[in-house]
Structure formats: C-alpha cells, structure tokens
Amino acid sequence: MDATQPTPTDQAVLWNGRAGRAWIDAQATLDRMFAPFEDLLADTVRATSARRVLDVGCGTGGTTLAAARVAGAQGDCLGVDISEPMVAVARKRAAGEGSTARFIAADVQAHAFEAASFDLVISRFGVMFFDDPVAAFANLRRASSTHARLRAIAWRSAAENPYMTAAERAAAPLLPNLPVRAPGAPGQFAFADRHRVASILQESGWGEIDIQPIDVNCTYPEKELVGYFTRLGAVGQVLEDTDEATRRQVTDTLRTAFDPFVHGDEVRFTAACWMIAATATAPPAPASAS
C-alpha cells in the first residue's frame, strides 16, 4: 500500500465491500422500509427552507434525492458517503431522475468541506459508524453556516429494536462466528445512549442539542423479507461464507423468527430511533493543523 495514503478504517473496508454491496442489492427494499424517515427529513428541508443541504452517510442517495426535490431548482444538496460503490449508485439515480443532487465519496471525519457551506445537515442512519465521532461532528460543524441545523436519525438500543435484532438472535446458535456487538463501538447501535450522543455534539461545537425518541412504523412486502435478512447486517455478511446446507437451515430458522412481524403480505415493525437535533450556534473551532 502507498504509505502516503491513509489506512482505510474497518468501516471503510466494510462499506466499500460486503455491507455496501448488500445495501446496493437491497436498495429498493430499504428505501421502501425507511421511507417514513425520508419523509421526516424532507419535511425538515421544507420547514427550514434550507437550500444548501448536506446528507451524511447518504448511501445510495434516497434521502439526498428527496431533499433535492424539496429544495427545488435553487437547491444545492450534497450527499457524502465513504462507500464508492454506493455513491456510484446514488449518482446514477440522480442522473436518472434529472436531479440537481451531487454526491462525493469521502470520509466525513476528515473530508475538507468548504467552511460554512451548508444550512442544514441531515442523515438517515449515517452517523453511527465513525471511529472518531467528535472529529466527524466537529468537521460537520465547520462545514455549517452559523445557525445551520443538524437533524440526524439514529437507532436507539438493540433491546428496543426487536425486529432489527431478530436475525442475529435466531441465527446465533447456527452461526458461531457471528460478530458480537461491543457497546458504543462504530455500528448500528453506537448512538443508543442519548447522553453519549449529547456529549459528542457538545464537544464538537454544536449548540441547542435536543435528542428526542421517535417510534416509526415501517412496512415492506413480505416477499422481500428473505432477501432482506439473508443480505443485510452481520448475518448477511457471515452467510456469504457459509455452505449451502447451513445457509438453507439459517434461512428457514430466520423466516420463522420473523413470523411476529409478518401480517398477511406485509412485514411491519416499529423502529425505535432518536431524532437528533442541534444548531450551529457558536463559531466553529478552527481546523487542527494535523
């Protein structure tokens, strides 16, 4: 490896590899499942009349495209994501619908955004994967104009989200190499502790911090359920390396485990999340020399 290049983090490897591929393959299902969150963020763009919008960890771009639709012709909506393949899909989607949304592949923790260039920073599940969350949110603060708003959606605890943990719980006896979640480590539930999130934002220079629980009803077609749990999350990643017989056994076991969430031809669950709000009140800290 070129010694002048930064070493990719585990998250960069993951999202440029298996996790990124899984989200691309399941993009339509995920966008349907998480449409209510897209609506919440689009409502925020509408309510704040923001035109310069940054979408953090934008993935395949669904929420950036939604923001750009609301911001209209005068809007300048930028999606940023560490995953090159996901950004490539986002750009293709933007071109497909003639959107003005732009996308860059970059690490939010380190990217040199133009200072004070955004009036609103949004994210749907894209802020829990930082190795150094203070560096990331301080960088976002520098990229924000004074009085800019931050509105980010993150998961509450695993215990409050039985649908999101059903696959791991059911598969654990069959897949002994399933990775164990470490509390607070980068990952889906890293922001479960609202006090930790508040102190990260405070340390990063954000003010008027307000973190509220939201319980959001999500639905998608039952026929997409097996494709969802065999691709996504830790189970999806481990299944890639599993023999066909185990794979079949895990799929059958998991399908039964998801029965409580199946209602006729629909999957329904409640997503227990935080709506994280903050304002760029104080002047941003100067960027460090390193």
Ligand X SMILES: C[S@@+](CC[C@H](N)C(=O)[O-])C[C@H]1O[C@@H](n2cnc3c(N)ncnc32)[C@H](O)[C@@H]1O
Point out which span in 75-83, 195-203, 237-245, 270-278 binds ligand X (CB under 6 A): 75-83
Judged by beta carbon, residue 108 or residue 200, the one nearer ligand X is 108
- Tell me the C-alpha distance between 98 and 102, whole Å: 11
Find the binding residues for ligand X in span 54-73 (CB under 6 A): 57-59, 62-63
Judged by beta carbon, residue 30 or residue 250, the one nearer ligand X is 30
The distance of closest approach from Cβ of residue 107 to ligand X in the complex, given in angstroms and rounded to an integer, is 4
228 binds ligand X, rule: CB under 6 A? no
The distance of closest approach from Cβ of residue 185 to ligand X in the complex, given in angstroms and rounded to an integer, is 13
Quick one: which of 91, 124, 141, 156 contacts ligand X (CB under 6 A)?
A: 124
The distance of closest approach from Cβ of residue 70 to ligand X in the complex, given in angstroms and rounded to an integer, is 16
- Tell me the C-alpha distance between 109 and 226, whole Å: 34
Tokens describing residue 61: 């771009």
The closest alpha carbon to 91, from 72, 82, 109, 78, belongs to 78
The distance of closest approach from Cβ of residue 136 to ligand X in the complex, given in angstroms and rounded to an integer, is 6
119 binds ligand X, rule: CB under 6 A? no
CB count in 10 Å sphere of residue 195: 8
Quick one: which of 66, 71, 82, 170 contacts ligand X (CB under 6 A)?
A: 82
77 binds ligand X, rule: CB under 6 A? no
Backbone angles phi and psi of 277, in degrees to 5: -120, 140
109 binds ligand X, rule: CB under 6 A? yes
CB count in 10 Å sphere of residue 248: 11
90 binds ligand X, rule: CB under 6 A? no
Q: Where are the alpha helices (DSSP H) in the chain?
A: 10-16, 18-25, 27-33, 35-48, 62-71, 84-96, 133-143, 162-171, 194-203, 225-231, 233-239, 244-257
Point out which span in 103-111, 202-210, 226-234, 246-254 binds ligand X (CB under 6 A): 103-111
Quick one: which of 40, 67, 90, 126 contacts ligand X (CB under 6 A)?
A: 126
- Tell me the C-alpha distance between 227 and 274, whole Å: 27
Which amino acid belongs to residue 125?
F
Judged by beta carbon, residue 191 or residue 206, the one nearer ligand X is 191
156 binds ligand X, rule: CB under 6 A? no
**SS3 assignment, position 123:** strand
Judged by beta carbon, residue 83 or residue 161, the one nearer ligand X is 83
Beta-carbon contacts of 12 under 8 Å, excluding residues fewer than 6 positions away, are 82, 107
Judged by beta carbon, residue 32 or residue 247, the one nearer ligand X is 32
Alpha-carbon separation of residue 234 from 26, 61, 154, 191, 218 (angstroms): 15, 22, 18, 18, 21
Find the binding residues for ligand X in span 8-37 (CB under 6 A): 11, 15, 30, 34
Point out which span in 82-90, 158-166, 210-218, 250-258 binds ligand X (CB under 6 A): 82-90
75 binds ligand X, rule: CB under 6 A? no
Owner of token pair 């409502």: 43
Q: Which residues bind ligand X (CB under 6 A)?
A: 11, 15, 30, 34, 57-59, 62-63, 80-83, 86, 107-109, 124-126, 129-130
